[in-house]
Amino acid sequence: MTGPAAETKMQFLYALRSRGVTEKRVLEAMESVDRGKFVRGIFSDRSYEDMPLPIACGQTISQPSVVGLMTQALQLSGRDKVLEVGTGSGYQAAILARLARRVYTVDRHARLVREARLVFDELNLTNITAMVADGSFGLPEQAPFDRIIVTAAAEDPPGPLLAQLKIGGIMMVPVGQSDAVQTLIRVHRTETGFDYDEIRPVRFVPLLEGLGKDV
């Protein structure tokens, strides 16, 4: 991270560790990607606090510790092809890009995709492909994926996403009503089916159908 002062950076990393982000490679990735690049306007001076913040199109950039925990739970090997549903600011995709081979990220808002691409270019993150799409259908042309991460809350893990997960693959998805506390679920695809583990309570904006109106 080049942006913040050394003390701010230490506090940021301390907050991550104290909330359970302990894997070295994940912490290194989060240290190297400046969250300040993904937050605009009046909230930019709060970029290094462990809290979600508003971004364009009425959406939010996730809380850093939640980004860290979801990334950790994906158990990336460095060779993975990952799908993220819900580009938002692009911050989660940037962290994934440090730890995976290739990241596809989709959002239903064209403006968010456009702005995230500019930051990916600026940070020289060349292994991310950001696209406008309704991610509830996944990305059939690039499937199957080693890992899938959904950063918006679904009522159930979407069927097309389950179908696009490789055997041995892992998907992280917050499940529950959008106006309530949701449960972060980890899905393992096995030879015979799917195993589901409840990880922790979370709060995400809803996974919505169709494309955003700013297209």
The residue from 13, 15, 62, 96 that contacts ligand SAH (CB under 6 A) is: 62
Of the candidates 60, 127, 129, 142, which one interacts with ligand SAH according to CB under 6 A? 60
Shortest spacing between CB 105 and ligand SAH, in angstroms: 8
Look up residue 195 and give its DSSP letter. Answer: E
Measured between alpha carbons, how far is 79 from 169 in angstroms, rounded to an integer? 12
Total site size for ligand SAH, rule CB under 6 A: 23
Told to check if 89 binds ligand SAH by CB under 6 A, we report: yes
Residue-level length of the chain: 215
- Tokens describing residue 86: 């819900």
Q: Which of 63, 71, 72, 136 lies at the binding interface for ligand SAH (CB under 6 A)?
A: 136
Residue 156 or residue 195: which is nearer to ligand SAH going by CB? Answer: 156
Show which residues are catalytic.
62
User: Which residues are 103's β-sheet partners?
Assistant: 82, 128
Instruction: Give residue for tokens 């456009």.
Output: 114
Residue 142 contacts by C-beta under 8 Å, 6 or more apart in sequence? Answer: 81, 83, 104
| Stretch near ligand SAH under the rule CB under 6 A, chosen from 54-62, 68-76, 185-193, 195-203 | 54-62
Peptide bond into 144 cis (omega under 30): yes
According to CB under 6 A, which residues from 156 to 215 bind ligand SAH?
205, 207-208
Decide: residue 198, CB within 10 A, 0-12 exposed, 13-18 middle, 19+ buried: exposed
- Contact residues for ligand SAH (CB under 6 A)? 59-62, 85-86, 88-89, 91-92, 106-109, 112, 134-136, 151-152, 205, 207-208
